[in-house]
Amino acid sequence: MTNWLSDRLDKICKLDAYVKPERIKDSIKLDANENFALDGKFISKIALHAIKQTDLREYPLEQFEDLYRQLSTYSGVDKKYLGIGSGSDQIIELILSIFGRNQKASIFTPTFSYFINRCELHDIALDRVPLTEDAELPKLEFLKRAARSDIIYICSPNNPTGNQFGENLVLEIIDTFKDKLILIDEAYVEFGNYNLAPHIAKYDNVVILRTLSKAFGLAGARIGYLIANEKFAEIFRTTIQSPYPLNSFSLAVATLALSYERYVRQTVELIKRERKRVFDELLEMYGIKVFRSDANFIFLESYDSYGRILSVLKKEGLSVKAFGDIDGHRGCIRVTIGTSEMNDKFLKSISKAI
């Protein structure tokens, strides 16, 4: 094999790969921040309807227009500010592969590990600023360090810690760095306190990343979108993105789902109420630290109880995301907020372990 290729493959082999959740048959899935408060029958009904509308012999054309129209209504911005992709993962990948070359990115840690993996894959140097013990952003340190980078990634609310930094703080960062590409990942924004879409037209360097995988319960359909200034969004749609990034079926599913925004919002409200209940109950438990969440999941440090908690949860058929020790936090676990029944089962099981 040519040397350059085998060298490159050897280097890629050594990188951390994104770890997908393990599928445990019949388990209660609280490991990937999906929305199970949405009725499965509702999603099936939409999917059947979408199949009927879809002729897979044809390339999708007007289906893109339909989705842009619905996304524009939903997000409250004109469609000239939008771009779509096969999940926001794919949009992140495209942006990093086009704009990341020879650049340096600032992140805080812990944050969305896929973003870190993709920076490493594309040889984008990473400057990592640790969050405080309580997962707050050390503002001065971050501003100082970010000043030396080209790209800034802010996950808002943050995965895995769940918190959303204050709106004024995020706007201050954006206002400070007009010369940098700023990516605001709003995958969980429906569960948070604010969104930055209303500000987008003012900035030519800010890109908001969104997805229908979380609140809209469509992780399997792979639909993401971005909101950016007119020039960035247009170049993304016409030149950077491939011509048919979503299949006709996913396009139809997404368009239909967005027309049921009211129902989706009801499930979001239910999850927020459940989040408070789960948070309050976890707070009462001995030997764990629970983090305030503005997302559809809760992050906790379980210290020496980590192994015991995981083994009890597994025995009782519950899947959660187990991180171990990360960025100064010990025995970290992230649990998705599910239906009341799922959450009851989780609370009962974890209380047995501590």
Ligand X SMILES: Cc1ncc(COP(=O)(O)O)c(C=O)c1O
**Which residues are at the interface with ligand X (CB under 6 A)?**
33, 87-89, 112, 155, 159, 185, 187, 211, 213, 219, 224
Q: Which is nearer to ligand X, 219 or 270 (CB)?
A: 219
Q: How far is the CB of 46 from ligand X (least distance, A)?
A: 17
Q: Residue 44 CB: number of other CB atoms within 10 A?
A: 10
User: At how many degrees (to 10) do helices 340-353 and 261-283 cross?
Assistant: 20
Q: Which is nearer to ligand X, 54 or 156 (CB)?
A: 156
Plot region of 33 (φ>0 → left; ψ -120 to 50 → alpha; else → beta):
left
What is the number of residues in the chain?
354
Q: Which is nearer to ligand X, 217 or 305 (CB)?
A: 217
Q: Which is nearer to ligand X, 219 or 326 (CB)?
A: 219
Quote the DSSP letter at residue 204.
S
Rounded CA separation 40/49 (Å): 14
Q: How far is the CB of 185 from ligand X (least distance, A)?
A: 5
Nearest to 215 by CA among 252, 249, 261, 248: 261
Q: Which is nearer to ligand X, 89 or 150 (CB)?
A: 89
Q: Which is nearer to ligand X, 50 or 246 (CB)?
A: 246
Q: How far is the CB of 224 from ligand X (least distance, A)?
A: 4
Q: How far is the CB of 92 from ligand X (least distance, A)?
A: 7
CB 146 within 8 A of CB 177: yes
Question: Kind and range of the H or E element at 115?
Answer: helix 113-121
Q: Which is nearer to ligand X, 233 or 254 (CB)?
A: 254
Residue nearest to ligand X (CB): 87
Q: How far is the CB of 326 from ligand X (least distance, A)?
A: 15
Number of alpha helices (DSSP H) and beta strands (DSSP E) in the chain: 12, 12
Nearest to 151 by CA among 109, 119, 113, 181: 181
Q: How far is the CB of 157 from ligand X (least distance, A)?
A: 8
Give residues with Cβ within 8 angstroms of 50, minimum separation 6: 249, 252, 253, 256
Cβ burial 194-213 (10 Å sphere, 16+ → b, else e): bbbbebbbebebbbbbbbbb
Rounded CA separation 142/150 (Å): 13
Q: How far is the CB of 190 from ligand X (least distance, A)?
A: 13
Q: How far is the CB of 22 from ligand X (least distance, A)?
A: 15
Q: Which is nearer to ligand X, 252 or 353 (CB)?
A: 252
Residue type for position 334: R
Q: Which is nearer to ligand X, 217 or 331 (CB)?
A: 217
Q: How far is the CB of 263 from ligand X (least distance, A)?
A: 20
Burial of 17 (0-12, 13-18, 19+ CB in 10 A): exposed
Residue type for position 24: I
Q: Which is nearer to ligand X, 18 or 263 (CB)?
A: 18
Q: How far is the CB of 71 from ligand X (least distance, A)?
A: 13
Placement of tokens 């992780």 in the chain = 219
Q: Tell me the CB-side half-sphere exposure of residue 278, using CA atoms within 13 A.
A: 35
